[in-house]
Structure 1
Amino acid sequence: MSKPTVRKQTEYVPLTRAQFRERFFARFYDPAFEALQPELDKVCEVAWDGYIKYRKSPRKQPAGPGYADPGMALPIEWLSVRAAIEAAEKRQKDTAAPARILIVNGSTRSEHSCPGEISKTRRLAQHAQKSIEALPGYEVDFLDISSLADEPWKVIHPCKACVSTSQPLCHWPCSCYPNHAMGQTNDWMEEIYPRWVAAHGVFILCPVHWYQAPASLKLMIDRLVCADGGNPDLTTTRGKDPALAKELELKGWDYPKHLAGRAFAVVAHGDTAGPENLRRMLADWLTDIGMVQAGPQAALDTWIGWYKPYATSHEDLDADPDVFVQVENAALSLANMVHQLRTGSYHAPDAGLHSPREK
């Protein structure tokens, strides 16, 4: 095909200095900051300069060996995450290391912020954690999405869908953040990527929010798109050059699956509607990125307090011990699948088959 174009529509219009100042000082609404107004004015001017000159990655160093252009300066923060991923991959492949299960509490509810009460999902996730930690040779990494609600300046920034421009433009790990020019920092994904890589199995538990996964969990899911075909070499696209990325993809891209071969389990629960569809969507996503479902009991959708008052939902969970048994069964199924994968006793029925549709 002919060389694809990079589609544009409008010129970027930056904020005015006044608009920028208004947004900057919104963080310092507390009257306690009034005594620091002169200092904050100076900080605001530096931040404005970084924004208007677009200093996205102000600290860089040469990429080094292993990159197409070792001399190209890359963001130090991205190189640090890349090194953490490589270390996690090495540990994950170490047969002498304990089997690691990443348990994801996919509810944003926190007792330390509004709503002021623990989530039912967290209780189920803790039960799964207890079940797995009771097994010899297993350890649990508990990834608690609710910390986004009760820790200051902790965020997962949204996916910018670079992959829809071209797969090689979507870097592994994501290089869209941090963006210091835009104030888009403290991106939790820098820590989350290595935790997924280090895991032999992943167990996601979450509630239904309007027929979907909670927004905070979905942010993580979207940002894991780079694990499915992402480009591990920033220098091949000179950072974020969309034209170069399109050329690179059309030359032939192998769509590497960076999390393939890990096991998974999912639990979705609701109180009126939606858990079946959510369970299916989560399982489909994890299967698409090359992970392996740990049997039929490892994908559960269930009800807690069906059409009963929200105020008594924890009591409804207490009254249904079977749910805890089902969660434990999913956890044990996941542990068994991890054991089979690590020992080589599991043989995928489609091993050696090449898909004609890799994307």
Structure 2
Amino acid sequence: MTDIRKGQAPATLERASFAERFRALFLDPAFRAEDSGIARLETIAWDAYQEGRKAPFTEKAGAGYADPAYDLSVEWVATKARIDAAQARWALADTPTRALLVCGSARNDGTCPGEISKSFRLTQIAREALEATGVECDVLDLSLLTSEYRLHIHPCKGCVSTAMPLCHWPCSCYPNHALGQTHDWMAEIYERWTAAHAVLIVTPVYWYQSPSPLKLMIDRLVCADGGNPDPTSTGGKKAELAKTLEMAGWDYPKHLAGRAYGVVVHGDVAGIEGSRRSLCDWLDWMGFVDAGAVARLDRYIGYYEPYATSHEALDRDLDVQEETRQAAQALAAVTADLRAGRLQALQPERARPRPK
């Protein structure tokens, strides 16, 4: 087996540092009347941190797992059950076609920006076009990360780089109650991706890249591309077991393959082509089927015009509105062909000579 390299992570927090971070949650003077209670809660949280109580509620894995006696997090088990049910519905030919529309902007009018995003407006245009074809739409507005109370997409911890089987499907890194890493939106988002027959991402460009809420979600979807559906096979997060499994031969299952996709990227100065290519390359790698050139759109809105008038620029740009509409229509058409089996006949699945 390969060596497991150590020496990067610092020591755990000292008691005083932990207390400072914990009490920062209760900075508001309105909490001062409850300081004694907060102190008691802090002691409980400190004990959980010291003992590493990541999953306080567990159940035996049971039949179907490599280690039926392993204690699985009940939260992970519940997420896995919802994903499995969504996948079963997705595979039924007589269910309505369902599209997931991902609004990638971090901006909305419920917090500091004070205004809706152009991505949201374009998402609504796409939604109307899809619904006109009979497609059911689920809008995933990632800007809610910036405006909803304690809603998080925690960062990917990079387990896949240690060994692919250490990356579980769905992700088992969160919640981690010992570290206070809770309220992870991905538990719901995995199910919504699984339920979709088609995905349309509508996003702006931030500094030549995808906005951070979108990138967080993308990174956390790595478990859908090669992830291990059995955490008991690696004893939870035991790197040595995961490395042994991968070296013995791993099939890198593509859990979301076979869905159609489209991408609409917009910007105001630079970076739209690179961002669009990156998103399309990622979805291609995941085994998604692109809906054609019409559904791979990148456009400038209000090129080099003031930010303050960007919505007016979109009002005037009837062409980009129509192009977004046509991207959605193309996605609907390809998804119909995909579900009917017509597209697979043209693009038969082939064995990958270098799976990863």
TM range (shorter): over 0.9
SS of residue in 1 equivalent to 2:83: helix
Q: How does 1:1-359 map to 2 (within 5 A)?
A: 3-10=1-8, 12-136=10-134, 138-347=135-344, 349-359=346-356
CA distance in 2, matches of 1:339, 1:254: 29
CA distance in 1, matches of 2:168, 2:43: 32
CA distance in 1, matches of 2:162, 2:268: 39
TM-score normalised by length of structure 2: 0.98
Letter in 2 for 1:228: D
| Regions of 4+ moved over 6 Å | none
**Deviation sequence 1:20-76 (CA, Å, 0-9, x none):** 110011111110000111111111110000001111111100112221112211010
How far off is 1:12 after superposition?
4.2
SS of residue in 2 equivalent to 1:347: helix
Which segment is superposed worse, 51-60 or 61-70?
A: 61-70
Distance 1:42 1:341, change over 3 A: same
Letter in 1 for 2:263: V
Distance 1:261 1:11, change over 3 A: closer
Distance 1:177 1:11, change over 3 A: closer
Provide structure 1 residue ranges, at least 5 long, that are not aligned to the other structure: none
SS of residue in 1 equivalent to 2:137: strand
Letter in 2 for 1:253: W
Distance 1:352 1:338, change over 3 A: closer
Q: CA RMSD in A?
A: 1.0
CA distance in 2, matches of 1:69, 1:48: 31
Distance 1:358 1:349, change over 3 A: farther
TM-score normalised by length of structure 1: 0.98
SS of residue in 2 equivalent to 1:181: helix
CA distance in 2, matches of 1:207, 1:117: 15
Identity %: 55
SS of residue in 2 equivalent to 1:174: coil
Letter in 1 for 2:23: F
**Deviation sequence 1:264-290 (CA, Å, 0-9, x none):** 000111000000110000000000010
**Deviation sequence 1:140-195 (CA, Å, 0-9, x none):** 01101011111000000000110000000000000110000000000000000010
CA distance in 2, matches of 1:298, 1:309: 28
SS of residue in 2 equivalent to 1:140: strand
Letter in 2 for 1:127: I
How far off is 1:11 after superposition?
6.4
Which segment is superposed worse, 10-19 or 116-125?
A: 10-19
CA distance in 2, matches of 1:52, 1:216: 31
**Deviation sequence 1:114-164 (CA, Å, 0-9, x none):** 11000000000011111111123x200110101111100000000011000
Letter in 2 for 1:276: E
CA distance in 1, matches of 2:268, 2:84: 41
Provide structure 2 residue ranges, at least 5 long, that are not aligned to the other structure: none
Letter in 1 for 2:353: P
SS of residue in 2 equivalent to 1:286: helix
SS of residue in 1 equivalent to 2:178: coil
SS of residue in 2 equivalent to 1:164: helix
Count matched residues. Answer: 356
